[in-house]
């Protein structure tokens, strides 16, 4: 084997290695890499779907908890309203049962006769003043200062 043959053999080995490397690179670019990208997309899509499901479940649990609190507040309000209405009905009944006779003579001239039961009910409900001097906080203009 002469020096030229060794050169040709070396050139053939180098050319074979270059062609092999190009083929491996082309296989990676055209076949393996797109498949890996697609697999990665599928994995990320499934992970996103799981996170979305978890977020939806957490939001639903939060909404249910808030709805439970709202229902409890509504039930308490309905109970207090029913109690208030019952007190008012008993007051009205007590006022209608009030005797129509005049107050006893010799008492104070300005004495207003209110049966003890009605007075007790008014105390329990709470006597109100004639007119509030300040706007109520629930009114929309409560935050606006009064003009002078």
The predicted pLDDT at position 130 comes to: 47
The predicted pLDDT at position 146 comes to: 57
Q: Which of 93, 94, 114, 95 lies closest to 103 in space, CA to CA?
A: 114
For every one of its 148 residues, what pLDDT tens digit does the chain have, with 9 covering 90 and above?
Answer: 677 778 788 888 888 888 888 888 877 777 777 777 888 889 999 999 999 999 999 999 999 999 999 999 999 999 999 999 998 888 888 777 766 565 556 555 555 666 777 777 777 776 554 444 555 555 555 555 555 5
47 three-state secondary structure: helix
What is the 8-class DSSP label of residue 136?
A: -
The predicted pLDDT at position 49 comes to: 95
Joined together, the tokens standing for residue 76 give: 């308490």
57 three-state secondary structure: helix
Give 97-117 pLDDT, tens digit per residue.
766 565 556 555 555 666 777
d(CA 78, CA 85): 10
40 Cβ contact list (under 8 Å, min separation 6): none
* Element of type H or E holding 62: helix 33-96
Report whether 135 contacts 142 (CB < 8 A): yes
End-to-end CA distance of the chain: 118
> Using only C-alpha atoms, what is the Rg of the chain?
45
Predicted TM-score (pTM) of this structure: 0.42
């Amino acid at each position: 084997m002469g020096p030229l043959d060794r050169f040709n053999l070396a050139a053939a080995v180098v050319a074979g290695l270059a062609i092999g490397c190009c083929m491996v690179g082309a296989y990676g670019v055209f076949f393996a890499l797109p498949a890996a990208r697609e697999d990665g997309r599928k994995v990320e899509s499934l992970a996103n779907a799981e996170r979305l499901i978890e977020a939806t479940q957490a939001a639903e649990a939060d909404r249910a908890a808030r709805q439970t609190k709202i229902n409890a507040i509504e039930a308490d309000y309905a109970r207090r309203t029913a109690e208030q209405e019952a007190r008012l009905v008993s007051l009205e009944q007590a006022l209608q049962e009030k005797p129509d006779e005049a107050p006893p003579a010799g008492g104070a001239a300005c004495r207003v006769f209110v049966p003890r039961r009605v007075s007790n009910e008014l105390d329990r409900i709470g006597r109100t003043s004639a007119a509030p001097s300040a706007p109520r906080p629930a009114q929309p203009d409560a935050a606006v200062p009064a003009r002078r």
